[in-house]
Amino acid sequence: VHNNSNNASFFVANEIADLIRQRQKEGKKLVLGLATGSTPTKAYDFLVKFHKEEGLSFKNVITFNLDEYFPMEADSIHSYVRFMNEHLFDHIDIKKENINIPNGRLDREDVREFCDDYEKKIQDAGGIDIQVLGIGRTGHIGFNEPGSSLTSKTRLVRLDRVTRLDAASDFFGLENVPTRAITMGVGTIMAAKKIILMAWGEGKSIIVKEAVEGPIRESVPATFLQNHPNCSFVIDEAAASELT
Ligand code: F6R
């Protein structure tokens, strides 16, 4: 628990940067799982700062984003492609071919094959070394809404009404929020070697308590993280306020 989200984000960015540098020294790649949304933006700002001011290089980094709305054009203001470019990729030296984000522009009949390929690509890259997560008020990680099983893999899902309501202002109305998304599964996330979940503010305090202290169950997918051997919740005091 950090006293504010700025310090917490600095801590997370440093954890990532240290591992990038360590792998670089060993001449190895680092596979990074990334999230979008309001939570990780400060950590991405710090990574950009480390790149610009300290020469942190992302040439040995491969990224896999958790999710994308479906359908979604890549150049839409709402796309996670655009989000990632704006907050991170446009400002660092990552190779374009090392960036992976679920494709929201596919024909419906091609989605299954794309999702299977996404899983295979993660495996071929050697698996995810660090997965960055936020948490939704439904207890979702990625877009694994209540009811997602522990073994779920990358797939097309329906978004919970609460999740769509939370996105409504960004989309200028609930009716404009997509009803579906492509997301890595709980099983995909659980296979990561290290997981860092971030959460800020009082609005997340009840779901953080549920995720950390509640019984492990499909109705709160984040509770599955309790069984991960190397998962930390990096949170601010407000998000920690309901913890016993
Ligand atoms: C985003 C994602 C979601 C968000 C969650 C929290 O890629 O997978 O699980 O992390 O909805 O969103 P924010 O950070 O906007 O509160």
Q: What is the pLDDT of residue 8?
A: 98
Sequence-distant (6+) residues with CB within 8 A of 209 are: 242, 243, 244
pLDDT single digits (tens) 85-101:
999 999 999 999 999 99
User: Which one from 26, 53, 145, 237 is the annotated catalytic residue?
Assistant: 145
Asked if residue 37 has its Cβ within 6 Å of ligand 1, the reply is: yes
What is the per-residue pLDDT across 171-222, written as a single tens digit (0 to 9) for each?
Answer: 999 999 999 999 999 999 999 999 999 999 999 999 999 999 999 999 999 9
Q: What is the pLDDT of residue 225?
A: 99
Q: Which region, left, alpha or beta, applies to residue 64 given φ > 0 means left and ψ of -120 to 50 means alpha?
A: beta
Ligand 1 close to Cβ of residue 136 (< 6 A):
yes
List, for the chain, all residue ranges whose pLDDT scores fall below the cut of 50: none
Q: How far is the CA of 197 from the centre of ligand 1 (A)?
A: 10
| 67 pocket-lining for ligand 1 (C-beta < 6 Å) | yes
Q: What is the pLDDT of residue 108?
A: 97
Report the predicted TM-score, pTM, of the whole model to 2 decimal places: 0.98
The pair of structure tokens assigned to 80 is 């996670």
Of 32, 38, 39, the residue with max ligand 1 atoms within 8 A of its CB, to mutate for a pocket test, comes to 39
CA atoms within 13 A on the CB side of 46: 17
Tell me which residue has its CA closest to atom 4 in ligand 1: 134
**What does the alpha-carbon distance between residue 154 and residue 191 come to, in Å, rounded to a whole number?**
12
Distance from residue 167's CA to the centre of ligand 1 (Å): 10
**pLDDT value at residue 214:** 98
> Domain residue spans in the chain?
5-198+221-233
Catalytic-residue membership of 109? no
Provide the CATH topology of domain 5-198+221-233: Rossmann fold (3.40.50)
- Looking at the CA of residue 80, tell me the nearest atom of ligand 1: 7
Rounded Cα–Cα distance for residues 38 and 198 (Å): 10
**How confident is the model at residue 111, as a pLDDT?**
98
Asked whether 35 lines ligand 1 (CB < 6 A), one says: yes
